[in-house]
């Protein structure tokens, strides 16, 4: 059965540096092309951790060297990362499809994601970004409106909020591209965080979790399946312990229970399970799959991975 799929790539699908990313996407697009060749409609989303950090640090270094050079807002850093990651992905995927005789347009969409200004995350920014600053440098930056915190005696770092996504601004464009039988790369790095102020969209000092943003996109374009890719083939209880238990299928009730019992690591598997659960519960018949990139096609067929569905 052909499906509309949102495929959320993990960090290992992109590599860290420029050269590593160009090499990594050559492998990544083969698995994406397999899904397209099988007849599925595919929307690709991705993270941007190393890439947005590199962009941010470059402009921080420029600001340190020249006081007239501004530090870029986080929203602009995310936009830049969407462009250059998308550039590599779309070219590599286009080439892979053409080599298979599939003539299908592939395009990257610079995507904004609305967040709630009243989200509690804005009251306590915790996501560290960029390089370290001295106390004097930090005080100057804080006077200019940036939030910095001391980091384990190593100096001061900027911190930003990580609010939940509320709306995908370009969702109609994504749907239109899909209806035109195009492959869309979108919501890169969780999307550019924006605050809706009347007709104006103002960039927010924040980063959005890409799995949560991917789940919101999948919901809003009426996808059949959300695939969240990670470094392990299945979700597990007691991960890394002798009594590890790999999970083939999770009901929403079991997923909620395991989350409450704190079975999943906060910095890695927890947001993936929570985002997958949110999509699976958004409408009857929707499924979320968590697995590794190389097993995505088998996971869709129910042969591996962890499926979360009602």
Kindly list the catalytic residues.
11-12, 127, 210, 272
CA nearest 42: which of 54, 33, 50? 33
Who's near 165: CB < 8 A, 6+ residues apart?
113, 114, 115, 190, 191, 208, 212, 213, 216
Q: In the chain, what is the greatest distance between 2 CA atoms, to the nearest angstrom? A: 61
CA nearest 7: which of 172, 254, 244, 229? 229
CA nearest 42: which of 95, 104, 111, 91? 104
CA nearest 43: which of 207, 194, 176? 176
Place of tokens 């060749």: 37
CA nearest 32: which of 88, 104, 97? 97
Question: Dihedral of the CA atoms 195, 198, 201, 204 (nearest 10)?
Answer: -20
**306, 247 Cβ separation under 8 angstroms:** yes
């Amino acid at each position: 059965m052909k499906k509309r799929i949102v495929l959320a790539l993990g960090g290992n699908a992109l590599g860290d540096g420029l050269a590593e990313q160009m090499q990594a996407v050559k492998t990544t697009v083969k698995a994406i092309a397999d899904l397209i060749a099988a007849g599925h409609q595919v929307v690709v989303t991705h993270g941007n951790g190393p890439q947005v950090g590199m962009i941010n640090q470059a402009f921080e270094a420029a600001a340190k060297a020249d006081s007239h050079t501004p530090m870029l807002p986080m929203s602009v850093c995310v936009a830049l990362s969407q462009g250059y990651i998308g550039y590599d992905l779309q070219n590599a995927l286009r080439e892979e499809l053409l080599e298979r005789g599939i003539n299908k347009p592939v395009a990257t969409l610079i995507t904004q994601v609305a967040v709630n200004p009243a989200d509690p995350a804005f009251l306590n920014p915790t996501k560290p970004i960029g390089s370290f600053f001295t106390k004097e440098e930090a005080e100057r930056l804080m006077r200019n409106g940036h939030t910095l915190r001391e980091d384990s005696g190593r100096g001061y770092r900027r911190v930003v909020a990580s609010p939940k996504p509320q709306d995908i601004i370009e969702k109609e464009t994504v749907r239109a591209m899909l209806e035109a039988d195009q492959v869309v790369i979108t919501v890169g790095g969780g999307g550019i965080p924006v605050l809706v102020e009347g007709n104006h969209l103002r960039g927010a000092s924040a980063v959005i979790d890409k799995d949560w943003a991917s789940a919101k996109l999948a919901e809003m374009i009426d996808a059949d399946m959300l695939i969240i890719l990670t470094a392990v083939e299945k979700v597990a209880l007691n991960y890394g312990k002798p009594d590890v238990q790999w999970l083939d299928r999770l009901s929403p009730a079991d997923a909620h229970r395991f989350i409450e019992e704190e079975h999943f690591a906060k910095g890695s598997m927890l947001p993936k399970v929570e985002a997958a659960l949110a999509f699976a519960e958004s409408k009857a018949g929707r499924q979320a799959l968590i697995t590794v990139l190389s097993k995505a096609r088998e996971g869709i067929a129910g042969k591996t991975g962890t499926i979360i569905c009602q």
